[in-house]
Structure 1
Amino acid sequence: MTLKFYTNPMSRGQIARWALHEAGADYDQVLLEYDSTMKAAAYLAVNPMGKVPAIDHDGKIVTEGAAICAYLADAFPDAGLAPTADERADYYRWLFFAAGPLESAITNRSMGFEVEPDKEKTVGYGNYDQVVEALDSKFLTDDYVCGARFTMADVYVGAQLIWGTQFGTLPGRDSFLAYAKRLTDRDAYKSAKAVDDGLIAAIG
């Protein structure tokens, strides 16, 4: 069994590396640069979008951060990160919420695009404030996406909140900060972050 991980340390590849560490997966990393190897034919054959992260697991390619997280939870069941039957609703609901409405709302706001009130019904996420309120209501009552237990959904959802509160794309709500602290205290988060921080330092 082989697992190849395509990434750049200054990218969403940090999410996938954290997921790999939570899963306890052995992997070979392939570091790519934005303006050269990431757009070269060899990598475009892996991901025609020319984006990272991507993984090649025994010849099966997975791209997109949320998909990589969900795939790894299933591919490495001994890590106990996939949802139980009772957890599936919350697991998939919030995993896709983070990949859809949350990502869109943050990206659009950072690019200066605000949804006019009369256009909210045509936009999947409504508006930025609605997204923030939905997340806040979730983590005011639950420690993790699936309630009391950490699952792989927390890697993807949590990464959005960790980065968002650190860089100001999300407000520093008490529920967000408490959730982020629970996640950044995890050994797998720390080990994955140390790898990426070391790579960034070497580049700089």
Structure 2
Amino acid sequence: MTDSDRVTLYYNHHSRAVGTRVLLEELGAPYDVRFLDLEADDQLKPDFLAVNPMGKVPTIVHRGAVVTEQVAVTIYLADAFQGAGLAPAIGDPLRGPYLRWIAFEGSCFEPAIMDRYLKREPAPRSMSPFADPDTTIRTILDRIAEGPYLLGERFSAADVLWGVSLDWITRFGLLERTPALGAYLDRVTNRPAFLRVAKTTAEIEAARAGHGRAG
């Protein structure tokens, strides 16, 4: 790979950008991290807003193109580094299910979880991007229970997206870690890429804690 293949990742370890970093590790893609201190509102400063006016991460830059939105970033990177085999190619029968589950995470699952957590009244079915929270959650849990991965025997970038999302959501108590869900998360989050990013996160936290004591 050449320098032009390097990905710039705007990142914070307490954000959805963790999933993007795990994916980059899984892909073996060359990348540089630009850390944004969310507590200092780095994401709202002019330099970053010039890249992503939404002031959100993950945001990547690759070959001069800015890509935002977690679902788009997942699809883009897995296709850009196709050699890693984490994205079924166009024409592969698994391509449709792969895109379905990636889109489902952002367009249905996250809004449903937040509606349930905030105890918001669901929108009328005809206006909602998902059926209702319970149906949405049951849909993904039923698929996961079939295992071992979202595409059956094939691990893909969709599992990276869902693995990080569900790991966080269960840690915060927004979803019960059932035996089937726990087994899925164990399979995904014990992969070397996840463990490397978890180690990096622990190192960042330790460094920040040490800096605080020194001050």
TM-score (norm 1): 0.92
2:200 counterpart of 1:195:
yes
Q: Deviations over 1:49-81 (max 9, x none)?
A: 001111111211111112111111111122111
2:97 to 60, 71, 90: 90
- Which residue identity is paired with 2:115? N
Structure 1 equivalent of residue 56 of structure 2? 51
Deviation for aligned residue 1:36: 3.0
2:75 counterpart of 1:105:
no
1:31 to 25, 35, 42: 35
SS at match of 1:74: helix
- What percentage of aligned pairs have identical amino acids? 36
Task: Provide the C-alpha distance between the structure 2 equivalents of 1:125 and 1:61, rounded to a whole number of angstroms.
Answer: 29
- Which residue identity is paired with 2:31? Y
Task: Provide the C-alpha distance between the structure 1 equivalents of 2:44 and 2:177, rounded to a whole number of angstroms.
Answer: 36
Taking a change above 3 Å as real, the CA distance of residues 121 and 78 of structure 1, as seen in their structure-2 partners, is same
- Which residue identity is paired with 2:35? L
Structure 1 equivalent of residue 213 of structure 2? none
Instruction: Could you tell me which runs of 5 or more consecutive residues in structure 1 were left unpaired when the two chains were aligned.
Output: none
Task: Provide the C-alpha distance between the structure 2 equivalents of 1:152 and 1:128, rounded to a whole number of angstroms.
Answer: 24
Q: Deviations over 1:2-36 (max 9, x none)?
A: 32110111111111110110111121111112243
Alignment RMSD, CA only? 1.5
Q: Deviations over 1:74-126 (max 9, x none)?
A: 1112211111402112101111001111010112222231327xx33432212
Deviation for aligned residue 1:197: 2.5
Structure 1 equivalent of residue 21 of structure 2? 17
* Residue pair 1:165, 1:176 contacting (<8 A) in 2 also: no
SS at match of 1:198: helix
Q: How many residues matched?
A: 202
* Residue pair 2:147, 2:184 contacting (<8 A) in 1 also: no
Q: Map of 1:66-145 to 2, 5 A cutoff?
A: 66-84=71-89, 85-115=92-122, 119-145=124-150
Taking a change above 3 Å as real, the CA distance of residues 193 and 114 of structure 1, as seen in their structure-2 partners, is farther
Deviation for aligned residue 1:134: 0.5
Structure 2 equivalent of residue 61 of structure 1? 66
Report 1 or 2 for greater relative contact order, CA contacts < 8 Å, sequence distance ≥ 6: 1
* Residue pair 1:101, 1:131 contacting (<8 A) in 2 also: yes
Task: Provide the C-alpha distance between the structure 2 equivalents of 1:171 and 1:114, rounded to a whole number of angstroms.
Answer: 21
SS at match of 1:94: helix
Taking a change above 3 Å as real, the CA distance of residues 142 and 169 of structure 1, as seen in their structure-2 partners, is same
Q: Deviations over 1:144-197 (max 9, x none)?
A: 111111011111122222112222112222221111110011011111121122
Taking a change above 3 Å as real, the CA distance of residues 112 and 197 of structure 1, as seen in their structure-2 partners, is farther
- Which residue identity is paired with 1:89? G
- Which residue identity is paired with 2:63? D
Instruction: Could you tell me which runs of 5 or more consecutive residues in structure 2 were left unpaired when the two chains were aligned.
Output: 210-215
Structure 2 equivalent of residue 8 of structure 1? 12
Which piece of structure 1 moves more, 98-107 or 161-170?
A: 161-170
Task: Provide the C-alpha distance between the structure 2 equivalents of 1:122 and 1:72, rounded to a whole number of angstroms.
Answer: 31
